[in-house]
Structure 1
């Protein structure tokens, strides 16, 4: 093994140790960047082989690989799979609250002594100074941050304990390349992830979201009762082909819909974050072991779910953003066999997501947090690293917002001035969040190819309609009339609007509308004729 492994070395390991024929799209580019010493933000769908991107170079690089992962069960699965390779270089251990203290100490000592190739930690463990000292002593050659979207305060799975991961990694000397992994991240979330993890000159790689095996449908209803009856009928029909997931908007709805499906003769389980750990584990086990036909769940069900043969994902309620929707949809058909994703839509349901949306905090609250940060009080988390990791989610969001504002206003700015800047940032974030919800409305109501719509939102292009959505089947999906050759601006062009400011062209709907992601106003779908005739968009 050399100190400077090449891509050829990694490919050999992929074939000889993992039995791969070759690296997949996205894996190759990410590994090449890591071997060149660059940080990487890799966005690949669930089941596309994200873990291989750190496992393969991790077996070749001279030092251990540190993996920061939020789920204990997922850590244990990864350790088990590495040990089952039977390769002496694949020695792995996890340090978590589920491991006895003696085993945690032994794992950290082994890492520091160079006896481990992979060390798995939760973000909370990384906040522990003793653990961090052991990581520094181990001198990792690569760091992977799994489920990296959890660091984003704009993400739908925000976890406060992720907020300090970036600064903790900055204390490593030498600082190794950092690989941020996620299965979902729209452009605003990607930017936030890169900033909060302190990624340097990061290669941003987005691949594999087309998922042509998943058929996309939207069923529009008028009355809530009609929608619920339609959900039961459709799920009962889809369950004849295999197991599935129904996502709903509230904890109460999990029980209501599960009971309705049970009355229709299906084996069901309800799942949400308010259940006891044992109840959640049992529901997940029954789902994995095919003891239920369908799990009815909130968005709490998903991270760490490893079941390739899910045949359908039904959304009985509208999710808050296309980010959340496409990640949940991506849990279907991971075995490559046909699957279906159905969204049941009532415009009135958007109000539920507005109710749950993170609002703009009060200026007085922001001022208090700014004061506490200025004097190193509890809001700054300096009282203890462990307490910092356990901050309530709302306080963690406030702190992150105020810290962003201090960076703009200056470290010496008065708390009132910092609070004003933080309030402006929160207003901008609210506009972006609302625009993401409006993009869900647009997805549900578009006559265009639904897959083209989602991929454009995620920053990928699909040149032609997919042929696997209800718009394509109905004949309403038109060929993309505005391609890079004929459109005024190609996808990815930076443009400026007199009211909305600077933004990025995300794509086109038909031949008359352009979607732009503005930095402070979020997604806006504009009339192409209006912006060109009146000169409202200019390339920056």
Structure 2
């Protein structure tokens, strides 16, 4: 078949894919170049093109052509669960049978594997996390590699630790690439890779310029109009959004930096009569699917989302993207705003930066590769064990939070130093070199990206040109559309009524603090004889906090008060009043001591403080103030008997945190006497809870000393 016949066949498939019954749809020359490289020449290709360029059209058209010529199924590795659902529907229009394997459909995996083996599936979309599943890697991946007709690596920037969204699971692709049959084409795609990331991805996937076609296009988005609206605080930003949301075209996405901020904004906008839905890492899969469906059908004005929505949503007519707060990377920002304006001539993109943005960046910044000593400690623990160790068991040996420990293990797995097996992780005994220079360069790159976002907010030059230059787009030039090129088109004023409503929403204190119910695994190895479920008579009750440090209401007010190095002092009057208000609401809540519920907790009979090494006056005056206002006796404070370890372990994992806290507190005789004199529930007061282990340990001591009476924790701030 000559090029003309192949091109005609490809255009026919495209028309079916996009739902064009007239058959007028045509691949652009650059898209056709990629398709021809994959189908005719069976080459590897790296495509770096803007969002909306049509990367999915390339791999679906190539899939159909290859399958008609006897090739095996296409395997698409993609982190975009929402986009997977969109693509399955699009593929069906072109007669392409597509199935998915991801965390949202485990009940379907066995059936899908059978369909692939029987040749009944044309496309298998796989989330990168499946690549590191032992069963998938050992039983499914070898068969896939042997039969794959086309391998597609979507959002390929995730493979690079230089990228804004590095995912170590992607590194497992190296082994799949090595196992592919000769002549199997490979397509890597991304919209957000600068020159450094592009080179890194090309090297790791074997798609370097000397080996493959590299298609890199201009990254301008002519439909987008970019702007920044500077507002004094979070209340003004919420009020502004409530007053201007209806002015924005169509439906869209409002991005927030934290789950708490997304939930706060959603609640406020709903109060103001807007049809909006929250979409975060805490949203259940069924609710996510409903939210996506509602936005696709324009039944909601906006999804108020965190980066959980991120890259993974395909709605060509999305009319706007608004950011409540600035992301920490210009590349991540370009990725998110690129969801808008793909199928419409005009879309609005606005950023509402906040003073708290950088504090939130720091809060989520603890993702760098660990220091060499901690890596070596992990390798030594695995080598000495002589058997597989689970992540919870490793936590007893390594002072790393679980998510950071898991990320490190995945990198070590790909580097060949450890191996994931059934039952956990083992050491391979292979030599491994700590690349300190590379990790330091990545850290400096992250710092440079944060500075770039500060510069983006403050620049007087073209905003689209600024973003394109951050992605090393050689053709970057002024867009003529953004607020700096053409002038601001939307004001910063808000009405007093909207502002008052936003202030009331953000001033409302009170979030639940869930207690710990299970002791961490492996405590016996640390000399702490605690295991299994915490006995009901020793558990802490569900407590309350004024707010989370990550929210835009009380979080903004509590972060300076609780920041590392902040001066200690008496609790501020407004904070004490808010704590008392939380206590009053708690009392009236279902199950609270002032409620009519038959199982309501009895009213607290006294107040006990947790001793603080860093903020003793703050905690003491908070506890005494609550006692005075609530007309409760102040029973005293636990005695601190530990060293600095209990404080320094705060940022570690659960096992290490509990080890440091075990034996760190005691019930002094005076407090024991006060508990005996005032039997009943105790209100336990502290400034901050992160892991929840301080409250769990303190509650266990108090319940043992107080005849098993409930312990009700009240803290100023909770993490998360």
Query: Normalising by structure 2, what TM-score?
Result: 0.56
> Is 2:268 the partner of 1:270?
no
Deviations 1:434-487 (A, max 9, x none): 101111111111111111111111121345421110111149xxxxxxxxxxxx
Q: Distance in 2 between matches of 1:372 and 1:175?
A: 42
Q: Distance in 2 between matches of 1:311 and 1:246?
A: 11
Give the aligned partner of residue 41 of structure 1. Answer: 46
SS of 1:204 mapped into structure 2: strand
> Is 2:465 the partner of 1:452?
yes
Give the aligned partner of residue 187 of structure 2. Answer: 179
- Does structure 2 conserve the Cα–Cα contact (< 8 Å) formed by 1:149 and 1:184? yes
Give the aligned partner of residue 13 of structure 1. Answer: 9
SS of 2:362 mapped into structure 1: helix
- Does structure 2 conserve the Cα–Cα contact (< 8 Å) formed by 1:214 and 1:333? yes
Q: Distance in 2 between matches of 1:395 and 1:38?
A: 37
Give the aligned partner of residue 69 of structure 1. Answer: 78
Structure 2 matches for 1:191-340, cutoff 5 A? 191-200=199-208, 201-238=211-248, 241-340=249-348
Q: Distance in 2 between matches of 1:117 and 1:401?
A: 31
Give the aligned partner of residue 434 of structure 1. Answer: 447
Deviations 1:237-259 (A, max 9, x none): 32xx3212111111110111122
SS of 1:266 mapped into structure 2: coil
Which of these residues, 333, 352, 356, is aligned with residue 364 of structure 2? 356
| Distance of aligned partners of 1:93 and 1:474 in 2 relative to their CA distance in 1, 3 Å threshold | closer
Q: Distance in 2 between matches of 1:169 and 1:26?
A: 25
- Does structure 1 conserve the Cα–Cα contact (< 8 Å) formed by 2:311 and 2:339? no
How far the C-alpha of 1:412 sits from its partner, in A, is 9.6
SS of 1:18 mapped into structure 2: helix
> Is 2:31 the partner of 1:27?
yes
Deviations 1:255-306 (A, max 9, x none): 1112222233311111110122222222222222222112111111143312
- Does structure 2 conserve the Cα–Cα contact (< 8 Å) formed by 1:43 and 1:184? yes
- Does structure 2 conserve the Cα–Cα contact (< 8 Å) formed by 1:194 and 1:202? no
How far the C-alpha of 1:73 sits from its partner, in A, is 5.6
| Distance of aligned partners of 1:345 and 1:11 in 2 relative to their CA distance in 1, 3 Å threshold | same
Give the aligned partner of residue 536 of structure 1. Answer: none
Query: Which segment is superposed worse, 432-441 or 155-164?
Result: 155-164
> Is 2:94 the partner of 1:85?
yes
Q: Distance in 2 between matches of 1:324 and 1:356?
A: 15
Deviations 1:46-101 (A, max 9, x none): 33211121222223333123222335564454344333324xxx455545645645
Query: Which segment is superposed worse, 126-135 or 371-380?
Result: 371-380
Query: Which segment is superposed worse, 118-127 or 349-358?
Result: 118-127
- Does structure 2 conserve the Cα–Cα contact (< 8 Å) formed by 1:372 and 1:380? no
Give the aligned partner of residue 120 of structure 1. Answer: 125
| Distance of aligned partners of 1:320 and 1:7 in 2 relative to their CA distance in 1, 3 Å threshold | farther
Structure 2 matches for 1:333-412, cutoff 5 A? 333-346=341-354, 349-357=357-365, 358-359=367-368, 361-371=370-380, 393-399=403-409
| Aligned-residue RMSD, C-alpha | 3.3
Q: Distance in 2 between matches of 1:100 and 1:227?
A: 43
- Does structure 2 conserve the Cα–Cα contact (< 8 Å) formed by 1:93 and 1:107? no
How far the C-alpha of 1:354 sits from its partner, in A, is 2.7
Q: Distance in 1 between matches of 2:338 and 2:363?
A: 26
Query: Normalising by structure 1, what TM-score?
Result: 0.73
In the alignment, structure 1 segments of 5+ residues that lack a partner are 382-390, 476-540
Give the aligned partner of residue 479 of structure 2. Answer: 466
| Distance of aligned partners of 1:83 and 1:280 in 2 relative to their CA distance in 1, 3 Å threshold | closer
How far the C-alpha of 1:365 sits from its partner, in A, is 1.3
Q: Distance in 2 between matches of 1:432 and 1:171?
A: 33
Give the aligned partner of residue 519 of structure 1. Answer: none
Q: Distance in 2 between matches of 1:315 and 1:105?
A: 40
| Distance of aligned partners of 1:310 and 1:48 in 2 relative to their CA distance in 1, 3 Å threshold | same
Q: Distance in 2 between matches of 1:67 and 1:404?
A: 20
SS of 2:315 mapped into structure 1: coil
| Distance of aligned partners of 1:347 and 1:461 in 2 relative to their CA distance in 1, 3 Å threshold | farther
Deviations 1:346-397 (A, max 9, x none): 455223213312345233212124547889986999xxxxxxxxx9652353
Give the aligned partner of residue 518 of structure 1. Answer: none
| Distance of aligned partners of 1:310 and 1:31 in 2 relative to their CA distance in 1, 3 Å threshold | same
How many residues are paired up? 446
How far the C-alpha of 1:131 sits from its partner, in A, is 1.6
| Distance of aligned partners of 1:29 and 1:467 in 2 relative to their CA distance in 1, 3 Å threshold | same
SS of 2:118 mapped into structure 1: helix
Give the aligned partner of residue 505 of structure 1. Answer: none
Give the aligned partner of residue 131 of structure 1. Answer: 140
SS of 1:467 mapped into structure 2: coil
Deviations 1:128-157 (A, max 9, x none): 32222332442x332111232333334444
Q: Distance in 2 between matches of 1:68 and 1:53?
A: 15
SS of 1:17 mapped into structure 2: helix
Structure 2 matches for 1:138-153, cutoff 5 A? 138=147, 140-153=148-161
Q: Distance in 1 between matches of 2:402 and 2:28?
A: 39
Give the aligned partner of residue 166 of structure 1. Answer: 174
Give the aligned partner of residue 520 of structure 1. Answer: none
Give the aligned partner of residue 63 of structure 2. Answer: 58
Give the aligned partner of residue 482 of structure 1. Answer: none
Q: Distance in 2 between matches of 1:318 and 1:202?
A: 37
In the alignment, structure 2 segments of 5+ residues that lack a partner are 16-23, 392-400, 418-427, 489-720
Q: Distance in 2 between matches of 1:17 and 1:176?
A: 21
SS of 2:60 mapped into structure 1: helix
SS of 2:435 mapped into structure 1: helix
